[in-house]
Structures are given as structure tokens and as C-alpha cells.
């Protein structure tokens, strides 16, 4: 596996290995996260996502390999690294005995936010996340969703350059989920912050991420944009064809069942073709037209990140790009 280009990267991991006793949690993990991108770490439980986040923040020491965050070592310069990072853990991990306002102020002080700015930032976040009305109530009485919103506000209180979100929408209602997605996009697109998303929610990862890394048993299984991964790992598409209704059966016969294709007449004039590779779509269209079928519409359905993810989990060998490098 080649080392990623470290220039300008927010995070660079090179051949990182971590063990919990005899269990290998990360095996030669190599990846780079660029400034300002939304990067997702995907994988089953135990794939190594949380371990990776902890290593990047200096909470765990890798057994071997190199880790740089903004050019700094998380172990040697941990305080400087953590001053620029924030982690939203999977469960909100808030102290139930503090109020929302006290929580934000306490963490603002711990992150060494200038005293003159603490009040303004705290009030602004309380308001932005819809907690202002209950700012003086103890967190113990909050719903799961409110706690998650407060935990996110806490993560943002020092305006981090690099934000880690571990299952950020778990337990959130649709409105709160939408708000969180907006926050992530705003952090990345408007403010140039880097966001690392650890999630099982593949739809969320596809919608938010510039790039994703799929981990499996501590190994990098694939890395790329969601669309790239989907195309490379799950290359077969489903295509919807709209033909003259009277020619539906004829269209199915023309398509046939060679090369793993399946054609099904869906409803009047619509034929669904599955298992077709992208490159075969033009020839399919020309075959139909050549056979005298009136083809009104051809709509390919791109494979999703979810398709790619499940394909990967059943295919352990690492994926290589066109240059032969492992993805």
C-alpha cells in the first residue's frame, strides 16, 4: 500500500497498527484526510473506527506506524492537537448534574476559549441548537435528542478545525437530523472545517461525505468518493426502460437473459433490467432500437454506497485503483 500524499492533509495515518492485547484492532491503516472535506469512516462494530479516532486525538498510542494531525504528533503534541479538534462521542456523555449553560461554559474554559468570548459563544450555540429556553435546566432531564444537540454544541464551543462525529444522528428526530446535516455542510463548505464522520448510516454518509473509507477488521477495505466506490465495487446497475406498451414483451425478449441480465416487465411499457454493467448500457439501447422497439426513456439507477458497502463486506481483498494502488 502506498503512503498518501501528506502535503496539506489535516490527518495522515501511515501503516498504523493497534492492538488490544492479542486482538489486532488496526492493521497497517494508511489514509489521509484533506482540509475542509467531510470524510466518513464506515464499518461494522469493531471495525476500528473508534480506535482510529482515539489514536488521532492522542488517547491511544499506536503499536507502530505514524500519525500526524495538522502536522503534529497526537502523542507528543496532544494538547495542541486537541485544542483544534472536537469529538462528538456516540452517546452524549454529558454530566446530568450540570445545566446546559454550565456544560458549555465549563468546556469552553477547558478548551481555553478567551474569557471575553465564552459568554457570546455559549449563548449563540444554545440558541442555534434550540436549547436556550432550557439552558438553566439540568441535563439529566433532557431527552436523548436534546442531549445529543447539547453534546454537539459542546463539541463546537471552541470552534474546532477538525470535528469527529461518532454516530451523530443516532436517536435524533428528523428535524434534529436535518439540522445536524446542515451544520456539517456549513462547517465544511462555508467555514472550511474538516469533518470526520463515523457512522453505520450509509445513506447519511453518501449524502454528506466527500470521501469515505470502509474499514473491516481494522483494515482499510476501500477509499474514495461515494460514487467512485459504488461504481467500482458494485458496478452492475439497474436500468428502467420505457417502451411502447404493446412492445413490452418484445423488449424483454430482445434483452434476453445473457450475461446475468434480468429483464422484468414492470407495468405497462416499463421494463426493469438488472445486473447490467455501465459500459453495456449504450449497446442495450442500440439493440432495442435496432429491433424496432420504440424506446421513449432509459433511466439508469446508479449503485449506492449501501450497495458498495455490502459488496465490500463480502469481498475482503483490498480494492485497487486504475494505477494498481490499493484503495
Contacts to other proteins by CB under 8 A: 20, 54, 57-61, 78-80, 82-83, 85-87, 89, 91, 93-98, 102, 106-107, 109-112, 138, 154
Give strand pairing partners of 271: 241, 265
Q: Render 251-295 in DSSP notation, one character per residue.
A: HHHHH-SGGG-EEEEEETTEEEEEEEEGGGHHHHHHHHHHTT--E
Q: Residue 69 to residues 76, 191, 326: CA-CA distances in angstroms?
A: 11, 19, 23
> By C-beta, is 165 or 305 nearer to other proteins?
165
Q: For other proteins, give the closer residue by CB, 139 or 243.
A: 139
Q: How far is the CB of 176 from other proteins (least distance, A)?
A: 20
For other proteins, the closer of residues 54 and 185 by Cβ is 54
Sheet with strand 262-267: strands edge to edge: 262-267, 270-277, 236-243, 295-301
- Shortest distance, CB of residue 66 to other proteins, whole angstroms? 17
Query: Of 96 and 117, which has the nearer Cβ to other proteins?
Result: 96
Across-strand partners of 314?
none
Per-residue cell: 44:
461494522
Do 215 and 49 contact (CB within 8 A), yes or no?
Answer: yes
Q: Which is nearer to other proteins, 91 or 143 (CB)?
A: 91
Q: Is 257 exposed, middle or buried (0-12, 13-18, 19+ CB in 10 A)?
A: exposed
In the complex, the smallest distance separating the C-beta of residue 88 from other proteins, rounded to whole angstroms, is 9
Amino acid at each position: 500500500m502506498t503512503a498518501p500524499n501528506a502535503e496539506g492533509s489535516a490527518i495522515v495515518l501511515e501503516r498504523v497498527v493497534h492492538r488490544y492485547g492479542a486482538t489486532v484492532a488496526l492493521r497497517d491503516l494508511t489514509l489521509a484526510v484533506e482540509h475542509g472535506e467531510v470524510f466518513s469512516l464506515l464499518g461494522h462494530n469493531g471495525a476500528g473506527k473508534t480506535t482510529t479516532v482515539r489514536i488521532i486525538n492522542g488517547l491511544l498510542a499506536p503499536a507502530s506506524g505514524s500519525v500526524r494531525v495538522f502536522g503534529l504528533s497526537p502523542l507528543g503534541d496532544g494538547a495542541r492537537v486537541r485544542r483544534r479538534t472536537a469529538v462528538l462521542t456516540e452517546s452524549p456523555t454529558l454530566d446530568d448534574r450540570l445545566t446546559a449553560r454550565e456544560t458549555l461554559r465549563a468546556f469552553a474554559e477547558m478548551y481555553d476559549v478567551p474569557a471575553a468570548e465564552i459568554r457570546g459563544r455559549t449563548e449563540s450555540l444554545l440558541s442555534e441548537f434550540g436549547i436556550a429556553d432550557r439552558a438553566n435546566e439540568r441535563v439529566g432531564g433532557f431527552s436523548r435528542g436534546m442531549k445529543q444537540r447539547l453534546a454537539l454544541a459542546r463539541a463546537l464551543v471552541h470552534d474546532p478545525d477538525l470535528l469527529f462525529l461518532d454516530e451523530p444522528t443516532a436517536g435524533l428526530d428528523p428535524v434534529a437530523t436535518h439540522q445536524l446535516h446542515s451544520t456539517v455542510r456549513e462547517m465544511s463548505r462555508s467555514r472550511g472545517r474538516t469533518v470526520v464522520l463515523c457512522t453505520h448510516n450509509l445513506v447519511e454518509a453518501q449524502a454528506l461525505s466527500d470521501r469515505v473509507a470502509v474499514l473491516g477488521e481494522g483494515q482499510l477495505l476501500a477509499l474514495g468518493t461515494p460514487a467512485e466506490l459504488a461504481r467500482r465495487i458494485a458496478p452492475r446497475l439497474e436500468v428502467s426502460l420505457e417502451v411502447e406498451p404493446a412492445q413490452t414483451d418484445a423488449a424483454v425478449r430482445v434483452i434476453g437473459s445473457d450475461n446475468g441480465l434480468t429483464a422484468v416487465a414492470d407495468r405497462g411499457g416499463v421494463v426493469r433490467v438488472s445486473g447490467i454493467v455501465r459500459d453495456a448500457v449504450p449497446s442495450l439501447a442500440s439493440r432495442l432500437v435496432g429491433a424496432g422497439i420504440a424506446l421513449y426513456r432509459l433511466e439508469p439507477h446508479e449503485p449506492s454506497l449501501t450497495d458498495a458497502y455490502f459488496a465490500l463486506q463480502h469481498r475482503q481483498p483490498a480494492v485497487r485503483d486504475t494505477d494498481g494502488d490499493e484503495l
